[in-house]
Structure 1
């Protein structure tokens, strides 16, 4: 369970819907992008049979 501000949750829900993701998938996407931008997450080797959206939860 994650406790976040209701307005933040609603904004994430709208963004997730726009990107055809679940809220959990959207949160994971945002966190991964932030970690990559900060240089704290190395990219995995690319698998040609797996799209980048396969990591999402919906």
Structure 2
């Protein structure tokens, strides 16, 4: 799956907490942030496109 880099401005204490959480879950910080975003999208009912179809932004309309 292609990845797109972007700059994230985040409070230091939030970043430190997410880093500790990532360490506990044996994930990278980037992997943990993506995991949390995917969980939030799933809770909102947003369906992600299949990996083979990942030619646009990866999100389907509801």
TM-score by length of 1: 0.69
Task: Give the unaligned 5+ runs of structure 2.
Answer: 1-6, 51-62
Task: Give the unaligned 5+ runs of structure 1.
Answer: 45-58
- The Cα of 1:41 is off from its aligned counterpart by 2.3
Runs of 4+ in 1 over 3 A off after TM superposition: none
CA distance in 2, matches of 1:43, 1:18: 29
Find out whether 1:36 has 2:37 as its counterpart.
no
Q: Give the length in aligned residue pairs.
A: 44
Three-state SS of the structure 2 residue aligned to 1:11 is: helix
Name which one, 1 or 2, has greater alpha-carbon Rg.
Answer: 2
Find out whether 1:9 has 2:20 as its counterpart.
no
TM-score by length of 2: 0.65
Q: Say whether the 8 Å CA contact 1:12–1:23 is kept in structure 2.
A: yes
CA distance in 2, matches of 1:7, 1:14: 11
Instruction: Report the RMSD for the aligned CA atoms in angstroms.
Output: 1.4
Higher share in helix: 1
